[in-house]
Amino acid sequence: MSSTRLYCIIKTFLNYGLDDMVPKKMLPWYAKLGRYSLFWLRNKHKNKALAQRFRLAIEDLGPVFIKFGQMLSTRRDLLPADFADELALLQDQVTPFDGELAKQLIIEAMGIDVFEQHFRDFDSTPLASASIAQVHTATLIEGDAPQQKTQKIVIKVLRPNISKTILADIKVMSRFAALVARWLPDGKRLRPVEVVAEYKKTILDELDLNREGANAIQLKRNFEQGSEYDKVLYVPEIFSEYSHRNVLVMERIYGIGVAEIDTLKSLGVDMKLLAERGVAVFFTQVFRDSFFHADMHPGNVFVNADNPADPTWIAIDYGIVGTLNREDKRYLAENFVAFFNRDYRKVAQLHVDSGWVPASTCVDEFEFAIRTVCEPIFNKPLAEISFGQVLVNLFNTARRFNMEVQPQLVLLQKTLLYIEGLGRQLYPQLDLWQTAKPFLENWVKEQMGVKAIFTKVKDSLPFWNEKLPEIPDLIYDYLKAGRENHQQQKQLFEQMNRQQQANNQRLIYSVLAASFVIGSALLLNQHNMVFTGISASAAAVFTVLAFNK
């Protein structure tokens, strides 16, 4: 990180008065002196709220900080509401880099001039430009005439040298995070160092477009199973043979941005059905597939409105995905069901059983804390209850009881907040709980009922089919080992018994020897020395015998 960039960041922060985030009384004298020494860097936005200044500063600092602000906006469990609301306004509109440079990067990645053989109609003006990559349209040509096939595609290209820029900016972020953790009154609770580390992992994953392509292929396969839910989400085809670490080629999709509410309504789209299908898409990914798109903000979600009465969702940008193991899924589903049944005791016990809070947690106290925070929610009509806010409340309460951060649950919370926001934007009367509860209850029943047992047995059959011929040998080896172990134990017992007998004999001889010594001492005062010498000699003999046994 150059000193110029560091100075630029400090200048931006001070010009927006972000030093106000740290109370003056918390600063040591040398920090105050350092601030006064930069007297020319004054707060130029005193008329704006602190949360707004924070968001504007991040916008000025460029793509990497904008992406960080977007991620941070989802951590409502860590941020005050006004900061989270401001950061949610960040838009991922970044000045594009030169289209001819993008074309050259594609050729270098492919190793051949692919535009001579496979790509036609490349548009050097990007279709979209984001903080990490930009997207260009083209036509893919495959095969030879007359069976030549054409396909409209988009080519996603990473910004040149973006990895170096990101790593350098993250290094500065880490330094600032350490300062915030040390000097901000709420620094320890906000855990800025851990947040920056989480961001680093997330954004570095996004820098490998092969990884994003694999995620898209997995998601597409999951939604081609033929169930009633699978027709509601379309995932574009990925052309892996043309994709590389910094280039991703995929089918071009045509849809309406999910945020274009007026357009959707003008086309007569069934908004209620579309909103409910959004909920179904989310819970299908989470509870059926354990693999969910974790970045479903409005810029990554479109609607196919060719049939307004039967609208479907289209998702793009698969750089961030989340997974849940079987235990997390079960506990999460049971938590939701228990919460909406107001069974706070079960909610508390589930958190302990899952290991999300320490086993030493007092369940009674935890139950009371959950009830205190969550019960007021039910003063509202059920349709107005925020599913995402339920998660926030649960996690915030659990954190007071030393709940460890669960990365998979953070992604889940973020995605649920996105989906809920989109659903209620499309159809404000959406009763998210009424839509989700049957899905959750059916899932729990399937996981714990007769069907679940049959499924587990069926899944285990190949393993037992392989191991069945080995069972007689395993039984024989076990019995043989048991018999040998028994013989060893018997020998060991006999050896211990002999040792104990020897120890007893030593003890008897030692007692006799001690008696003779004491007797000799007494006779010394009453009889002659000859008799005493005999007694002492006898005692010595007994002593030698005792210790030689």
Report, as residue numbers or ranges, the catalytic residues: 295
Distances, alpha carbon 349 to alpha carbons 359, 365, 373, 378, 392, in Å:
10, 11, 17, 21, 18
Q: Are 38 and 8 in contact (CB under 8 A)?
A: no
Whether the link from the prior residue into 236 is cis, omega within 30° of 0, is no
56 closest CA partner among 15, 97, 10, 5: 15
Place of tokens 């600063």: 27
Q: Quote the CA–CA distance of 411 and 512 in Å, as a whole number.
A: 80
520 closest CA partner among 505, 533, 502: 533
Query: Residue 313, Cα to own-chain centre: how many angstroms?
Result: 25
| C-beta atoms surrounding 301 within 10 Å | 24
SS3 133: strand
Q: Are 440 and 337 in contact (CB under 8 A)?
A: yes
Q: What residue type is assigned to position 495 of the chain?
A: Q
β pairing state of 149-158 and 247-251: antiparallel
Query: Residue 527, Cα to own-chain centre: how many angstroms?
Result: 92
Task: Tell me the Cα Rg of the chain.
Answer: 36
Half-sphere exposure of 147 (CA within 13 A, CB side): 1
